Amino acid sequence: MITKLLVVDDEVEICDFLKTFFEERNYKVFTALNGETALRVVEKEKPAVVLLDIKMPGLDGIEVLKRIKALHPTAKVIMVTAIETRDKIEEATRLGADNYITKPLSLEYLETDVRDKLESLAR
- Which residues are paired to 7 by β-bridges? 31, 51
Is-contact 45 75, C-beta < 8 A? no
Superfamily of domain 3-118: Response regulator (3.40.50.2300)
* Centroid of chain to Cα 47: 9
Where is pLDDT greater, at 90 or 5?
5
Where is pLDDT greater, at 102 or 35?
35
28-83 pLDDT, tens digit per residue, is: 999 999 999 999 999 999 999 999 999 999 999 999 999 999 999 999 999 998 87
Is the pLDDT confidence value at 84 over 70?
A: no
Is-contact 88 81, C-beta < 8 A? yes
